[in-house]
């Protein structure tokens, strides 16, 4: 093993042990590892923003671009400059302008992504589940595919009904949903529980895989010195 590889292997070995020290509770060694992780991540993000965004997309075009391009780039430059004023309590109102722009753009992107990437895609997938022809794909028996489509349709509809909070209100009684909505909502609750369980199982499996990898790394490092 070369000296450079040996140094980085020892660094990884020590940092892994520092993280595992959390098994004995929160301690300075674990906090040191987290501080190093946060610091390295922040430094990497800063360098990436400077060399991948600011220099090639803002400063170099401002210095050597065409007049139209320079005028357009003045808008993000001014907004970025105003955003810095959020640091000062006295001039924080100036930074509210770019913050409002960021929030508006973020909300528009989130809504558009939810509609196009989730609602439309989920509706199309639910409809396609009843299709009995697929090019390049081994088609299941029509009965089995129809059954899977029914399960998918029931899951989508019942889950959406579960989040229907409209309820009739009567005097001296708490608001209550219609009985048929309550039954469908219960079915949706089952689908939600299954989904969350599957997600938790996936996260847990990934964590176990990472743990096995780190333990294997520790054992290999120790064995390499014998």
In whole angstroms, give the CA distance from residue 55 to residue 53.
6
Continuous segment of H or E residues that includes residue 9: helix 3-20
Structural domain contains residue 193: yes
Q: How many domains does the chain have?
A: 1
Query: Does the residue 66 lie in any domain?
Result: no
Residue 120 lies in a domain: no
State how far the Cα of 93 lies from the Cα of 99, in Å rounded to an integer.
10
Task: Report residue 124's pLDDT band, with 50, 70 and 90 as the boundaries.
Answer: confident
Q: What was the pLDDT predicted at 205? A: 95
Q: Which residues of 193-215 are buried (b: 16+ CB within 10 A; e: fewer)?
A: eeeeeeeeeeeeeeeeeeeeebe
In-domain check, residue 202 = yes
Which range among 66-70, 87-91, 202-206 has the greatest average pLDDT?
Answer: 202-206
The string of DSSP codes covering 22-76 is GGG-S-HHHHHHHHHHHHHHHHHHHHHHIIIIIIIIIIHHHHHS-HHHHHHHHHH
Round the CA-based radius of gyration of the chain to a whole number and report it. Answer: 28
pLDDT of residue 224: 84
Whether 94 maps to a domain, the answer reads no
Asked if the structure places residue 220 within a domain, the reply is yes
Q: How far is CA 126 from CA 96, 119, 129, in A?
A: 42, 10, 5
Tens-digit pLDDT profile for residues 33-73: 999 999 999 999 999 999 998 899 888 988 887 888 888 88
User: Is residue 162 a part of any domain in this protein?
Assistant: yes
Which range among 146-155, 172-181, 199-208 has the greatest average pLDDT?
Answer: 199-208
Q: Give me the domain span that covers residue 135.
A: 129-226
Asked whether the predicted pLDDT for residue 121 surpasses 80, the reply is yes
CA angle, 116 as apex, 115 and 120 as ends, to 5°? 80
Q: Is residue 86 part of a domain?
A: no
């Amino acid at each position: 093993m070369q000296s450079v590889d040996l140094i980085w292997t020892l660094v990884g070995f020590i940092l892994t042990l520092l993280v595992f020290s959390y098994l004995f509770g929160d301690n300075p060694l674990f906090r040191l590892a987290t501080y190093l992780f946060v610091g390295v991540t922040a430094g990497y993000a800063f360098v990436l923003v400077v060399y991948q965004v600011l220099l090639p997309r803002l400063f170099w075009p401002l210095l050597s671009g065409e007049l139209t391009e320079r005028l357009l780039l003045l808008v993000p430059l001014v907004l970025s400059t105003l955003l810095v004023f959020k640091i000062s309590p006295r001039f924080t109102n100036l930074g509210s302008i770019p913050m409002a722009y960021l929030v508006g753009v973020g909300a528009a992107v989130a809504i558009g992504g939810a509609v196009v990437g989730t609602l439309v895609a989920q509706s199309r997938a639910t409809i396609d589940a009843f299709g009995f022809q697929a090019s390049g794909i081994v088609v299941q028996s029509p009965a089995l595919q129809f059954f899977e489509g029914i399960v998918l349709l029931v899951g989508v509809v019942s889950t959406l009904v579960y989040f229907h909070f409209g309820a009739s209100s009567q005097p001296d009684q708490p608001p209550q949903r219609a009985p048929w909505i309550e039954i469908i909502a219960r079915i949706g609750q089952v689908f939600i529980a299954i989904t969350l369980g599957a997600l938790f199982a996936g996260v847990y499996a990934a964590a176990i895989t990472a743990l096995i990898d780190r333990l294997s790394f520790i054992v290999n490092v120790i064995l390499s010195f014998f």
